[in-house]
Homo-oligomer: A and B are copies of this chain.
Amino acid sequence: MIIDQYCDNENINNVFYQNKVETLLEALPYIKDYFNKIVIVKLGGAIMEDDAGLGNVLNDIVLMKYVGIKVILLHGGGKQITRLMQEKNIEVKFCEGLRITDEKSIEVVKMVLLGEINSKIVSFLNKHGKIAVGVSGNDASFIECRKKQFKKDGKDVELGFVGEITDIDADFINKLLVNDYVPVIATLGSDKYGNIYNINADTCASEIGSKLKAKKMILLTDVDGIKISENDSERLVSRLSINGANKLIKENVISKGMIPKVRACIDALNNGVERTHILNGNHPHSILIEIFTDKGIGTMIVKDK
């Protein structure tokens, strides 16, 4: 039989498929806009412990990569670290949200970030081609840091191996981007004595984004964004300027864990990142909706006009 296959004629002008590709075409203006641009995404929150949810987010990342966006991924892993510390009977202590990280703890941090989370993300992405490379700031010492000095009530607190970034070697990440890889970054840094430090992932995203002049920085978290109480209800702030954000911090509208995230956004904007977003990773495809549709979800913080 020489003819391999027929197709039913009546079906050619198929509306179902036309609708599909028309949806692709609707995304074209956004795709053009982000073509060859850097978008830095920090994965955080509950999504990190939910393999299915994480898989969905990473699938979104793969799409971004293949339509020409230069994606950089960062991740922390707080809850998994706590879990392994408990398993190993290491006391878990925090001081104003900062984990006290002694020598045993930093070993656990490394195991979890590198051996569990980073490699999981990398292997997931690489199912879609040889596209991801896992690194930490220890590789080529590309994130240089020093021990974070911290005072509480006027007294020094010994945080242990908690670091503060002193320099980023943007060139190292650029080499990966130029070779078309998605860098997946575990937010560890090192000093010149070979000590490894745990560093805040939001801050790290902000610093790397600034150095590389990212078009967009997205902090993926568990809440929908910045909320404001009006009468008896809460409303989500969709768009905020640096001035507005600073004012809301001062007025304690933005508080607790949201403060460092907003500060990371402000720093990024002040240092060359175009736009920053705080999104809820638990909503399906929140990143893609943010990037490829006219629907703004979450809170976007932008420069003052």
Contacts and interface: CB of A to CB of B under 8 A. Distances in A.
Interface of A: 2-7, 9, 12-14, 17-18, 20-28, 31-32, 35, 59-60, 62-63, 66-68, 87-88, 107, 110-116, 118-119, 122-124, 126-136, 138-142, 169, 175, 179, 181, 188, 190, 192-196, 224, 228, 234-241, 243-244, 247-248, 280, 283-285, 288-289, 292-293, 295-297
B123 A190 contact: yes
Nearest to A29: B128
A295 B70 CA distance: 30
A interface majority secondary structure? mixed
Contacts of A133: 135, 139-140
B295 A2 contact: no
A241 B2 contact: yes
Given A18-B285, A20-B23, A138-B123, A7 B238 contact: yes
Given A116-B110, A244-B4, A66 B67 contact: yes
Given A67-B67, A126-B190, A236 B32 contact: no
Contacts of A239: 3-5
